[in-house]
Every structure is written in structure tokens, then in C-alpha cells.
Structure 1
Amino acid sequence: MATAVSSAAPIAPAPVSAAARPPGYYVRQRLWQNRPAVAGLAFIALCTLIALLGYWVLPDNSPNANHGFVQIQKERPGLRVLLLRQPLPDSARFGVASDNLLTTWLRGREPAVQETPIGGYQFVGDSIILKPLGEHSAEAGRLRRLALSTVVGHPGSRAELQRLVRDEHLINRFYVLGTDKAGRDELSRLLLGTRISLGIGLVAVLISVVLGMAVGAVAGYFGGWVDSVLLGVMTVVWSIPGIMLVIAISLALDSKGVWVSFVAVGLTMWVDVARVVRGQMLSLRSATFVEAGRVLGLPTARLIARHLLPNMRGPLIVLATSNFAAAILLEAGLSFLGLGVQPPAPSWGLMVKEGYDLLGTEAGLWLTLLPGTAISLLVLSFNLLGNGLRDAYDPKTPVMG
């Protein structure tokens, strides 16, 4: 009996299903579909770029953007000023650093020339007659006469000196957001303030995440009396106001500098992270993969660091963004009270305080409103991003497309 031989068609490879994609793909998809979160992320990215560029993009790149003129203090936005540039005296030239890109990025540059706001000028022979600017000037109402060779820094013919003064020593400067109470460029100080706000947020988040993960992981994994002791420490720290902790840390370190503020704010925020990590650790320590790791003899430190903590990545990222916003607000409040970043550093909280002291005057409104708006926008951006990340890490959130 002949047997029939059936020829089967070749089996085509099964297409890769959407379920084969890694979880991170769906997290990113959910995040990009959340328009408020994307808008917050874009604003944070813009502020980060400004903070990284720092002094390179500031109209006033002097250290702390602290180059001001008493003649133009508390002027409204849109101010245009004519400045006369003169060589620095010999005694002041030794303090001017060389034109180094790295030094400029890190600390700014000391002015290489002496600038004076003037209300007008007129050439008379070998001299220039200057009209003082502003009622705050010590020479208000009096004309000032300077030799052209003094302005230029070297002798020359009258026509040549007048041309040099007109082309190289007289400049127009535009103050987009006006000036503060010391006659400093408000825009430069606002832009430089992003470096302090983002810097203190970053340092605070790093300290809080590292310390909180360590304490929470130990408490949740070992349990027993270790958990009780560490939970008691967390409860005590939790009950102390953050401002009081920062004051205590500043007094203990006997300093109120920028880096002390960074560290102090970070040491007040680790409890949130520790409580979340402890709760997650309590629920995961009895999981099957953890028991398998113990049976295989994996060291406890490796089991925690390589297998347990990575499973908490989502909640920790969401908590880090909220702590970032909280750190910015805390630093602003401390600087407003005079306990944080000290003058002349351009902290947004300190700038709000300077504007608040001038409320009731014409300049008080925008000097308070501008840094206050910057703080609000940055904190709102982190909150929107945190909400978006929370939804993105929730598997119940649908993915469109």
C-alpha cells in the first residue's frame, strides 16, 4: 500500500508582537503622550542648558553678575544706557583674570574696563564733556571734562582720538528686564539663578536618594529590631521642620555658604525616599526570585543592590522629581529668610526678598514678580513631569498608537 507523502509549506517566522517590546518602551510612549509632562520636561531642559552655559551666555558675565551702577538702580525693563569705557587704573588691572573659557564658565570674568553710564557727551578740542546720568549720581547736574587721551589710554591726534572714543569707547547697553536695587542687570541674575536652583535640587536629590535608599533598604530587608530603630530615626527626623534642620546643620558647620545650603537641604529630604524604599523592600523580600538568590548563596549586598533596588526604579524616579521641586522651594524660602545662599550670589529666593523690601515703590513689583515667576515655572515643570512619570510607570495607563 502506497503511502501518501504530503508536502508541508514552510512555516513563516511569527511576527514580533507588541508584547515582546521592553517595558521601557511603553513608559516612554506614555510619557510622550502626556503633553503637560513633555512641556515641563522641555522647560527643565531649557533651564538646564542655561545653567550649563552659565556665564558664557550672560549679558553681564562678571562674577555673580554683580556688576552694577548706582546711576541706573531700580530701572524698569527696556532700559537703554550709553556707557563710556575707560582703561582700568594700574592698581585694578592685577585683579583681572586672563580670558580663559573654563574660568569664565566657572566663575565669570572681572570687568576688563571701567564703565560709566552717561546722559550725553560733546567733544570740545582735545577733551570730551560728559553729562552725568540719573539723579542718584554724585555728580548730578554737573558736567565732567576728560582728556581724550585719558579715555583712550594713549596719545594721538585729535581726529583719531575722537574716532576711537566714538567707535570703541562709547557703547549702548540694553537692559531687557531692567536693573535691581544695586543697578545690576536683572536678566543676567535671573539666568544665573537657574544654576543655583538646579544645582541645589540636583545635590539635594542625590544626597536624599543615596542616603534614603541605604537606610530604607537595610530597614526593609532585615526587619526586626533593625527596622524598629531605623523607623524611629525616620519618624524623629520626619517630625522636625526642614527649615529647623537646615538651621541646625548650618550652625553645626558654622557656615551659610552655597555648598552648605546644598548639603543641608539634601540632608532634610532623605526620609521620603527611605520610607518608600522600606515599604517596597518589605513587599519584595519574600518574593520567589529573592528566595532563589538566597538559596544560590548570593551576598546580601549584591542581592539588595542588583536585584531588589532596580525593581523600585519607577517609584524612585517619580519621588526624585517631586523632591527636586521641593528642594528648589526650600532653598528659595531659606534664601528669602537670609539662611540660604548669601549675597551677592543670584539666588531666586534672595532676589524675591530684595524685591519684597521695595514693595510700595515702582520697582518693587517687577523685582518681586520676575524671580517669583521663575521659581513657580520651574517648580510647576517638575511637578508636571513627576505626574507624567507616575502615569507612565502605571501599567494601567493606556498606550495610544
Structure 2
Amino acid sequence: MALAVSTAAAAASPSAIAAARSPGYYVRRRLWQNRPAVFGLAFIALCTLVALLGYWVLPDNSPNANHGFVQIQKERPALRVQLLRQPLPDSARNTADPANVFSTWLHGREPEVQETPIGGYEFAGDSIILKPLGAHSAEAGRFRRLALAAVVGHPGPRAELQRLVEQGHLSTRTYWLGTDKAGRDELSRLLLGTRISLGIGLVAVLISLVLGMAVGAVAGYFGGWVDSILLGLMTVVWSIPGIMLVIAISLALDSKGVWVSFVAVGLTMWVDVARVVRGQMLSLRSATFVEAGRVLGLPTPRLIARHLLPNMRGPLIVLATSNFAAAILLEAGLSFLGLGVQPPAPSWGLMVKEGYDLLGTEAGLWLTLLPGAAISLLVLSFNLLGNGLRDAYDPQTPIAA
């Protein structure tokens, strides 16, 4: 008899375990089975990692990756350049502590040496003769002669100075994605642009969620004249084009820059969230658990925040991913028009504008396509992830065995 009971319990245990699994388990399984959504999530995670590491992983970790050379403006990808490194004058040296990794992560690091692109060199006695670099050099056709002691920073025997110059003051750098119109590393600026795009998207989504949930919850829960007034406000804001509203906010704040763009984009996207929360709240406010909460005397703010809003988690997550993509596109459009992030910050929209101004030249094509492709891939990834989350939260979506 005991053996029969234990056998029955063992046979029933798989179904009992399956029944005990949380809804989140099935949401994750549906999401992982959606390959486009997983691709989008992986690309977003990669961009997030690049944005978090920031200046630590950039080939050019100067502030805003703004260290350029006029000799190599608008050069092709995979450009290899030989650089002569000289000590900076005392008046131009960076006083910041180079070992402060947090400062480097946040602001970058000023160059600690003076670098000069050269086309070649040869030693002549106590001097080094530098050959000019390419047709873009302002010194094309002219050679420069520098004393070895000036390059190294201290006098010494000629053979020793030549050895020090070759070992410590000559280097080769590869610009894998070429250079822009100011001779800056395009790869560094493209990677640093992920921090601005994801930062604006994150702040915009947080602002839209907080403001939209507050307005939508109040309108849907209380109804009546409160709902009518807030719904009218949402309709008015909804009728204003987003880019016009951002322009108006920028003019009202009398400023243009990164943080103004963050706030302005966020204040244009809360209506979507408010309308979704209001609709969900209208359908849930008469539910049995809400009536039970009222009977128990739960305060209205706690009832809304602890019991009603968590039931809207699925639609809000899907809407947040959609708004993230829309915020990135809106910021890129504003920067392209000169109303968003200002130079020399490496915004992708601003980089597209710089490349667009050079269309018709050899460099204009890739200087436009590279940041444009980055914007498209990131927006596509958020849209794929949003579609995957929508299907994952749908109980009717089948789960593969």
C-alpha cells in the first residue's frame, strides 16, 4: 500500500512541479524560443556593455573622442598612420591623475603627449627628418627637422637618443573605420555614441513611465470629471508632433544639450503609457481583489501601486521597449537638425549630419552609412525584442517541447 502511494506521488510530481511554476517561467521560455527577439536582446546587451565601459575600451579615450589630426581628415577605413610622440609643454600638460579610473570612465583622458602623423622619418646626425603625410597635410612637399633631444625631452648621446626615439616615441595606429572631417577616429566616436543614444532612451523611458503611470492610474481609477480632464490633456499632448514639442521644451528651457535632450524627449512620450495604463485601470478597478482591498481599508495610493500597477507589467514592458526605440530615433532626428546634442559630443544623429554634408565626396558615403547603420540596428533590435515580449506575455503563444 505504501509502495502504491509513493508510486502515485512520484507519477504526479512532474505535473505538480509544472503547476507550481510561475508565469514568468513560461514568459522566459517563449522569449528564448523567439530567435529574432533573442538577437535583438543580444545586440542591445552588447551596446549596453560598450556604453557602460565607455572610454575604457575606446581607441581614442580623449574627452568626446575629439582628438583629431588635420593631416588625416576624411580618410578611408583601415588607415594605418605612423605617429611621432613628443612631450607636451608644461603649460599644456594634464594635471588630472591618470590613475583615476572613474574620471577616465566618465570624462575620458586628455592626451599626455603631443602626437604628429608622419609619412616616414630618417635620422641625420643629432636630428630626425620627418616626411610629410599624404596630400591632406598642410606641410605637403616640406620636410621637418627636429632635434632628437627635443623629441625625447632630455639630452644624451646620439645613439642612445635614436634608440629612445625608435622605441618610445614612434608608434603606428590603425583607424579601422577611417576618420571624419576633423581627422578624428570614427570607430571611437561611433562606440561612444552608444552611451548617448542608450542614455537618452533610458531617461526618456523612465520619465515616460513615471509620468504616464501616474496620470493614467489617476484617470482610470477615479474616473468621472478627473478622467475627463486628464484625458483631454492627453489628447492635446497627443495631437502635437513630438519633434515640435521637443523644440518648444528646448526653447522654454533656453538651452540645448545632452540633458535638455534627455528631459525633452522623455516629456513627449508619456501619453502612450498614460493611455495604456488608463485602459487597463478601467478594466481592473471593479475586479474582486480591488473591492476586497477597499473593504479592508487599504489606502488608495497603496492599492494602486501594490495591487493594480503590477498587473500591467507585461504591457508596460512591451511599451517601454517600443518607446526606447522611438526615443533613439527622435534624438537622432533632433541632433541631425542641430536641436539635440551639440558638438563635439558624438551623437549618432550629429554624425549622420556631418557625413551628409560630405555626400558627393569619397568619405561622405561611409561617414553617413556607419552611424545610420548603428541607429537602424539598435532600433531594429528594440522592435524585435518588443515583438518577442508581446508574444511571450500572450498565454496563447505555444511553447515548444
**Given that residues 56 and 104 in structure 1 are in contact (C-alpha distance below 8 angstroms), is that contact kept between their aligned partners in structure 2?**
yes
Give the aligned residue type for 1:305. A
Match of 2:310 in 1: 310
Aligned mates of 2:42, 2:165 — CA distance in 1? 45
In structure 1, the gaps of 5 or more residues are 1-6
**Residue deviations 1:28-55, cap 9 Å, x none?**
0000000000000000000000000000
Match of 1:380 in 2: 380
Give the aligned residue type for 1:192. L
Match of 2:228 in 1: 228
- Alignment of 1:36 with 2:36, yes or no, is yes
- Kindly, what percent of the aligned residue pairs are identical? 88
Aligned mates of 1:297, 1:155 — CA distance in 2? 86
- Alignment of 1:330 with 2:330, yes or no, is yes
Aligned mates of 1:95, 1:145 — CA distance in 2? 30
Give the aligned residue type for 2:255. S
Distance of aligned partners of 1:134 and 1:95 in 2 relative to their CA distance in 1, 3 Å threshold: farther
**Residue deviations 1:193-243, cap 9 Å, x none?**
000000000000000001000000000000000000000000000011111
Aligned mates of 2:99, 2:313 — CA distance in 1? 44
Give the aligned residue type for 1:322. S
Match of 2:108 in 1: 108
**Given that residues 86 and 115 in structure 1 are in contact (C-alpha distance below 8 angstroms), is that contact kept between their aligned partners in structure 2?**
yes
Distance of aligned partners of 1:145 and 1:8 in 2 relative to their CA distance in 1, 3 Å threshold: closer
Aligned mates of 1:342, 1:134 — CA distance in 2? 31
Match of 2:117 in 1: 117
Question: Where do 1:202-217 residues align within 5 Å?
Answer: 202-217=202-217
Distance of aligned partners of 1:143 and 1:292 in 2 relative to their CA distance in 1, 3 Å threshold: same
Match of 1:194 in 2: 194
TM-score (norm 2): 0.97
**Residue deviations 1:363-387, cap 9 Å, x none?**
0000000000000000000000000
In structure 2, the gaps of 5 or more residues are none
Aligned mates of 2:254, 2:283 — CA distance in 1? 42
Match of 2:357 in 1: 357
**Given that residues 40 and 380 in structure 1 are in contact (C-alpha distance below 8 angstroms), is that contact kept between their aligned partners in structure 2?**
yes
Match of 1:269 in 2: 269
**Given that residues 97 and 109 in structure 1 are in contact (C-alpha distance below 8 angstroms), is that contact kept between their aligned partners in structure 2?**
no
Give the aligned residue type for 1:15. S
Residue number among 15, 22, 26 corresponding to 2:13 in the alignment: 15
Distance of aligned partners of 1:295 and 1:154 in 2 relative to their CA distance in 1, 3 Å threshold: same
3-state secondary structure, aligned to 1:80: strand
Give the aligned residue type for 2:326. A
**Residue deviations 1:79-111, cap 9 Å, x none?**
000000000011101555533110000000000
Match of 2:158 in 1: 158
Aligned mates of 2:288, 2:316 — CA distance in 1? 23
**Given that residues 96 and 111 in structure 1 are in contact (C-alpha distance below 8 angstroms), is that contact kept between their aligned partners in structure 2?**
no
Aligned mates of 2:139, 2:70 — CA distance in 1? 12
Aligned mates of 1:174, 1:281 — CA distance in 2? 57
Deviation, structure 1 residue 161: 0.4
3-state secondary structure, aligned to 1:110: coil
Deviation, structure 1 residue 10: 5.8
Match of 1:3 in 2: none
**Given that residues 97 and 110 in structure 1 are in contact (C-alpha distance below 8 angstroms), is that contact kept between their aligned partners in structure 2?**
no
Distance of aligned partners of 1:9 and 1:54 in 2 relative to their CA distance in 1, 3 Å threshold: closer
Match of 1:369 in 2: 369
Match of 2:175 in 1: 175
Aligned mates of 1:216, 1:95 — CA distance in 2? 51
3-state secondary structure, aligned to 1:306: helix
Give the aligned residue type for 2:13. P
Aligned mates of 1:224, 1:53 — CA distance in 2? 50
Distance of aligned partners of 1:95 and 1:344 in 2 relative to their CA distance in 1, 3 Å threshold: farther
Match of 1:291 in 2: 291
Aligned length: 395
3-state secondary structure, aligned to 2:5: coil
Deviation, structure 1 residue 136: 3.0
Deviation, structure 1 residue 287: 0.4
Give the aligned residue type for 1:309. L
Aligned mates of 1:75, 1:336 — CA distance in 2? 22
TM-score (norm 1): 0.97
**Residue deviations 1:298-332, cap 9 Å, x none?**
00000000000000000000000000000000000
**Given that residues 69 and 182 in structure 1 are in contact (C-alpha distance below 8 angstroms), is that contact kept between their aligned partners in structure 2?**
yes
3-state secondary structure, aligned to 1:15: helix
- Alignment of 1:89 with 2:83, yes or no, is no
**Given that residues 120 and 132 in structure 1 are in contact (C-alpha distance below 8 angstroms), is that contact kept between their aligned partners in structure 2?**
yes
3-state secondary structure, aligned to 1:11: helix
**Given that residues 242 and 268 in structure 2 are in contact (C-alpha distance below 8 angstroms), is that contact kept between their aligned partners in structure 1?**
yes
Aligned mates of 2:96, 2:358 — CA distance in 1? 33
Deviation, structure 1 residue 255: 1.0
**Given that residues 94 and 111 in structure 2 are in contact (C-alpha distance below 8 angstroms), is that contact kept between their aligned partners in structure 1?**
no
Give the aligned residue type for 1:85. R
Question: Where do 1:340-351 residues align within 5 Å?
Answer: 340-351=340-351
